[in-house]
């Protein structure tokens, strides 16, 4: 009986992935990312560092008046720009 409980606990512990969270930006990152966003002709949006290793800006308003989701690598180089949902 105890063995089954221990085995079930182990399966649950191993089988349930730990969810990593995105993190807020440091002050330095915010300044650099803001400059990178502005260089793309965009402003505003929700900025954070994604747990997968890149910066993201959701709902940035760009010079064409539309909102985009932007992704930047850790050197603040644009890697993706797509229309926001």
Q: Domain residues of the chain, as ranges?
A: 20-83
Structure tokens at 16: 């349930």
Structure tokens at 20: 């990593």
Structure tokens at 45: 């949006």
Are 41 and 47 a contacting pair, CB within 8 Å? no
pLDDT tens track for 52-72: 999 999 999 999 999 999 999
* 2-11, 44-53, 64-73: segment of lowest average pLDDT: 2-11
Q: What local confidence, expressed as pLDDT, does residue 21 receive?
A: 75
Other CB atoms within a 10 A radius of the CB of residue 14 amount to: 8
């Amino acid at each position: 009986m105890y063995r089954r409980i221990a085995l079930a606990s182990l399966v649950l512990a191993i089988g349930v992935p730990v969810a990593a969270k995105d993190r807020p930006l440091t002050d330095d990152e915010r300044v650099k990312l803001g400059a990178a966003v502005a260089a793309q002709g965009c402003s505003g949006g929700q900025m954070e560092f994604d747990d997968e290793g890149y910066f993201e800006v959701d709902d940035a308003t760009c010079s064409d008046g539309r909102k985009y989701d932007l992704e930047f690598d850790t050197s603040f180089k644009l890697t993706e720009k797509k229309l926001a949902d």
